[in-house]
């Protein structure tokens, strides 16, 4: 069964460092998302991406964040200068098309900023 | 904004008991979704609801899309230990984004 894959599963980084979280969405899916979940808290929307551009972003997704689909396969989330409060699970999700509402999530990347 | 209020925050029940949780919003949603998250895993879709008033079952799970399109509930009947986890509701409006409730943490005691 096709699945969304995320790498790495766990990343530890020093405060102020840049990190790139990688996602490979399901191959025929067109809509891509990043969500964040601080430990024990709710899943928070960060950004949605369609047709090679951001379609919507939340207030969490500030200038420190960026997304890219560099090669038609990967979908990346970059945090330029990590802060301690960026420590969280980051989930990538994809949806096939506008008419299909079932989002498939990856297993997540646990980011720890020290 | 498109806030979803999910309750209860947590539940502690005995194996075999039925469970009910719900989500409400001041916004109208076109789709309601219920996800389950196991520790260290991503959310997994349980049930998707597409029409107001729709009642859908998936095994021991039953969910309904409220008539006003502003609420939904999820029932789990005859709970078992593997039902443990966090259950999230999610709503979608006329765009591509989902908004999640805060989650209901379910603990099932054998």
Burial classification of residue A6, based on how many CB atoms lie within 10 Å of its CB (0-12 exposed, 13-18 middle, 19 or more buried): buried
Q: Which of B41, B44, B98 sits opposite A45 (nearest CB)?
A: B98
- With 0-12 / 13-18 / 19 or more C-beta atoms within 10 angstroms meaning exposed / middle / buried, residue A84 is exposed
What is the percentage of chain B residues whose pLDDT exceeds 90? 67
Interface contact flag, A43 B43, Cβ < 8 Å? yes
Pick among B50, B87, B96 to test the A interface (most A CBs inside 10 A):
B96
B64 close to B72: Cβ distance less than 8 angstroms: yes
Instruction: Give A31-88 pLDDT, tens digit per residue.
Output: 899 999 998 788 888 998 988 899 888 899 999 999 999 887 899 999 999 999 999 9
Given a contact cutoff of 8 angstroms between Cβ atoms, the answer to whether B76 and B58 are in contact is: no
Give the nearest partner residue to A101 out of B31, B101, B102, using CB atoms: B31
């Amino acid at each position: 069964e096709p699945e969304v894959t995320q790498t790495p599963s766990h990343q530890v980084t020093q405060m102020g460092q840049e990190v790139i979280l990688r996602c490979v969405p399901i191959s025929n899916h067109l809509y891509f998302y990043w969500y964040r979940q601080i430990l024990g808290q709710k899943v928070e929307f960060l950004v949605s991406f369609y047709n090679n551009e951001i379609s919507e972003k939340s207030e969490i997704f500030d200038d420190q964040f960026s997304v890219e689909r560099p090669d038609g396969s990967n979908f990346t989330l970059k945090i330029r200068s990590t802060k301690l409060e960026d420590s969280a699970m980051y989930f990538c999700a994809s949806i096939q098309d506008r008419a299909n509402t079932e989002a498939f999530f990856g297993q997540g990347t646990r980011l720890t900023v020290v | 904004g498109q806030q979803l209020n999910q309750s209860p925050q947590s539940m502690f029940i005995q194996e075999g008991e039925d469970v009910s949780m719900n989500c409400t919003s001041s916004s109208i949603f076109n789709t309601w979704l219920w996800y389950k998250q196991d520790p260290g895993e991503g959310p997994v879709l349980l049930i998707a609801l597409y029409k107001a008033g729709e009642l859908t079952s998936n095994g021991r799970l039953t969910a309904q899309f409220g008539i006003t399109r502003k609420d939904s509930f999820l029932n789990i009947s005859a709970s078992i230990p593997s039902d443990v986890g966090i259950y999230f509701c999610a709503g979608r409006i006329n765009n591509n984004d989902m908004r999640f409730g805060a989650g209901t943490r379910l603990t099932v005691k054998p």
